[in-house]
Amino acid sequence: MIQASAIPAEGTLTPSAFADERLLGTASAAGLGEIAERVIARERLSLDDGRRLYKSDAIHAVGALANHVRERMNGDLAYFNVNQHINYTNYCNKFCKFCSFDKLPGQEGAYLMTPEDAAAKITAHLDEPVTEVHMVAGTWPQLGLDYYLDLLRQVKRARPSIHIKAFTMVELDQIRRVAKLPLDETIELLKQAGLNSCPGGGAEVFSERVRAEGYPNKMSGAAWLETTRAVHRAGLRSNCTMLHGHIETVDERLEHLDALRLLQDETGGFQAYIPLSFHPANNEWSHLKGPSALDELREIAVGRLMLDNIQHIKAYWILMDVPIAQLCLSYGADDVDGTVVEEKIYHDAGATTPQAVQREELIDWIRDAGRVPVERDTLYGVLWTD
């Protein structure tokens, strides 16, 4: 192991060798020297390494390691897109304890959009350069396959160029159960109706212990992974997430990250990983505190370091304060999501960020954070950069 005192003077090494030595020094001083050596050598980190990163007091050294990988994989770039969210219903039969969004029909605030309502939300923003619609919602067994096919077709008709990123694995599983069709066939029908990719939600934490305690009606982790496998097999890309900062342990988080990493080795279909910070307002887990800003930074950093085979790490600005999302861009993240427009899930759960932001503001936030803004499409094609 190289000690900090052994770092050669600036000018005696190439810039990249000097940066490696400096990183080794910082990490060694924090007791993370061996992990730094593996990071620099591009070796996969073990779950034990992950445990040390989670338990280390030296959050900035953990961040420096993650930033090293971030810059190796994505340079100075920070991606965003111009997107629109449609949470088409809050009816839900899963009753997850962390959720503040779900309602039963007839309850105050309950709503179900018709496909025409959803299409009208798209039409209302036709004068803006929106490239993606992100559609996720509750699951309600009276919504048959036809509702979802119609929803996709009408949204596509309203704006033919739009990329539809829709339905978490939980929604897909519900749709195929109600339709009584095999999963592959269900995905094919949705694809033909306009589905272009899938968002990463619904994964929560795969641990059976946490699931039994917090969301016993939701599909198992194994089923979430199996459904994702089918989505990737159908040629659709997707994202992945982990809901953190509630009752899960460090080991349960690591097992979750490892399961994502193994699936990615197999399919290569994940585009981005998004740690979702638990928001405790207005739900059955309101007595829990939720993650601190430092927890959020650490989650981004550990995600970057463990998920060596997922290209992008997203700091979803909606669920963090914007300054924390900016900091995340130096702790492993290279994406801040998009302009969003009308987010409901996190605002019901107490998020105090705005419900939308202008493209120019997002660009300013990224520049302020010292990164180069890149407007992307959903599949990370570059649309604009500085």
Q: Residues interacting with ligand V47, by CB under 6 A?
A: 98-100, 136, 168, 199-202, 204, 239, 241, 243, 274, 276, 278-279, 283, 316, 337, 345, 349
The CB-based long-range contact list for 45-53 (8 Å cut-off, 24+ gap) reads 45/305, 45/306, 45/308, 47/251, 47/254, 47/255, 47/258, 49/305, 50/254, 50/257, 50/302, 50/305, 50/306, 51/250, 51/251, 51/254, 53/298, 53/301, 53/302, 53/305
Of the two residues 33 and 201, which places its CB atom closer to ligand V47 in the complex? Answer: 201
Query: CB neighbours of 18 closer than 8 A, spacing ≥ 6?
Result: 8, 10
Tokens of 292: 């601190």
CB of 64 to ligand V47, least distance (A): 26
DSSP 256-274: HHHHHHHHHHHH--EEEEE
CB of 101 to ligand V47, least distance (A): 6
Give the Cβ contact number of residue 360 at 10 Å.
9
CB of 164 to ligand V47, least distance (A): 13
Residue 276 near residue 268 (C-beta atoms within 8 A): no
CB of 158 to ligand V47, least distance (A): 21
Of the two residues 30 and 260, which places its CB atom closer to ligand V47 in the complex? Answer: 260
Task: Give the length of the chain.
Answer: 386
Of the two residues 35 and 297, which places its CB atom closer to ligand V47 in the complex? Answer: 297
CB of 292 to ligand V47, least distance (A): 15
Of the two residues 27 and 274, which places its CB atom closer to ligand V47 in the complex? Answer: 274
Of the two residues 39 and 351, which places its CB atom closer to ligand V47 in the complex? Answer: 351
